[in-house]
Amino acid sequence: MLGFPSHPGKHQEVQEVMVRSAYRQDNSVIIQWDSETANILGFRVVYRLFGDKSFKQGPPLEASEREFKIKNVPAQVSVMIVSCM
């Protein structure tokens, strides 16, 4: 999951996203997180289904959003969620 800082030109070590939970519901995986950063512009979830060779990106999310649903995940497939900046 990516957090977009409000100053894109400045590099800073970021600990602004904490995954609270990730769980399966029917054929979806739901990811919920918190952020203690007040000036964040938004989020983007990056994930990979085990067995796939490439990562997928979710759409840009608003700064107020704290949940993302990966749809159509087969029951026997695991998901790796990437949290980075």
Q: What's the pTM?
A: 0.72
Residue ranges making up the domain that contains 46: 2-82
Give the pLDDT band of residue 62 (cuts 50, 70, 90): very high
Reduced 3-state DSSP string for 24-82: EECCEEEEEEECCCCCCCEEECEEEECCCCCCEECCCEECCCCEEEECCCCCCCCEEEE
- Residue keyed to tokens 């997180």: 33
Q: Considering its fold, how many domains does the chain have in total?
A: 1
Q: Which residue has better confidence, 76 or 60?
A: 60
Average pLDDT over residues 3-21: 64
Q: What tokens were used for 30?
A: 């739901």
Q: What is the CATH number for 24?
A: 2.60.40.10
CA distance 51 to 37: 34
